[in-house]
């Protein structure tokens, strides 16, 4: 296992992690059998790719902010916080993924804990997360972080609410 130079944390997308971002996302896409073509444009002009992802932007019709989970030059995953819910509450407040090479090492749990602190700072008292029923790893992460199930959404994902006041 690679020893990280510092504990990873949520950070603004940055060109500092260009190589590990591109390699990590490519490995993740190949592992899932997904198309990697979108990485071509990112690799050709990474500065612009990053610039488009920095700050609060409208995504899914609501203000959202993207973070990368990094340790110096190491990219581990991505996380988005929607400042308000979409009309259909489809994706909830928080979405995250850890790229394949870094999975099963506790990073998703740490990412979610950090996101809950950011949600609390945005005056989101209860954060909604949605998880596919077959995503056992994410179900475990959400439950470990205090997720309380609340039925399913229109896509069949399980809805969970997490009280952000207990986030640290």
Handedness of CA 22, 27, 29, 33 (dihedral sign): positive
First to last CA, the chain: 27
Query: What percent of the chain lies above the pLDDT cut of 90?
Result: 86
DSSP 92: B
Q: What is the mean pLDDT of residues 64-82?
A: 97
Does residue 89 surpass a pLDDT of 80? no
Q: Please give the domain boundaries of the chain with CATH numbers for all domains.
A: 9-166 (3.40.630.30)
Distance between CA atoms of residues 44 and 42, nearest Å = 6
pLDDT digits (tens, 9 = 90+) for 105-141: 999 999 999 999 999 999 999 999 999 999 999 999 9
Does residue 168 surpass a pLDDT of 70? no
Distance between CA atoms of residues 46 and 153, nearest Å = 35
The secondary element (H helix, E strand) that includes residue 119 is helix 107-121
Neighbouring residues of 58: CB distance < 8 A, sequence distance ≥ 6: 64
Q: What is the mean pLDDT of residues 80-99?
A: 91
Neighbouring residues of 93: CB distance < 8 A, sequence distance ≥ 6: 81, 82, 85, 119, 124, 127, 128, 129
Query: What percent of the chain lies above the pLDDT cut of 70?
Result: 99
Mean pLDDT of the residues in the chain: 94
DSSP 3: P
Distance between CA atoms of residues 61 and 54, nearest Å = 17
Neighbouring residues of 52: CB distance < 8 A, sequence distance ≥ 6: none
pLDDT digits (tens, 9 = 90+) for 92-107: 999 999 999 899 999 9
Low-confidence winner among 58-62, 137-141, 156-160 (lowest mean pLDDT): 58-62
Largest interatomic CA distance in the chain: 43
Please give the model's pTM, rounded to 2 decimal places. 0.92
């Amino acid at each position: 296992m690679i020893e990280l130079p510092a504990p990873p944390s949520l950070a603004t997308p940055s060109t500092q992690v260009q190589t590990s971002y591109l390699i990590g996302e490519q490995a993740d896409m190949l592992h899932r059998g997904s198309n990697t073509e979108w990485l071509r444009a990112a690799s050709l002009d990474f500065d612009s790719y990053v610039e488009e992802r920095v700050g609060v932007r409208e995504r899914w019709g609501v203000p959202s902010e993207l973070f990368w989970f990094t340790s110096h030059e190491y990219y581990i995953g991505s996380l988005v916080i929607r400042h308000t819910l979409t009309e259909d509450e489809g994706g909830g407040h928080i979405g995250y993924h850890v790229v394949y090479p870094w999975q099963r090492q506790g990073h998703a749990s740490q990412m979610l804990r950090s996101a809950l602190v950011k949600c609390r700072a945005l005056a989101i008292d209860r954060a909604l997360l949605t998880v596919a029923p077959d995503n056992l790893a994410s179900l475990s992460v959400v439950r470990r972080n205090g997720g309380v199930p609340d039925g399913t959404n229109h896509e069949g994902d399980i809805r969970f609410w997490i009280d952000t006041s207990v986030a640290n």
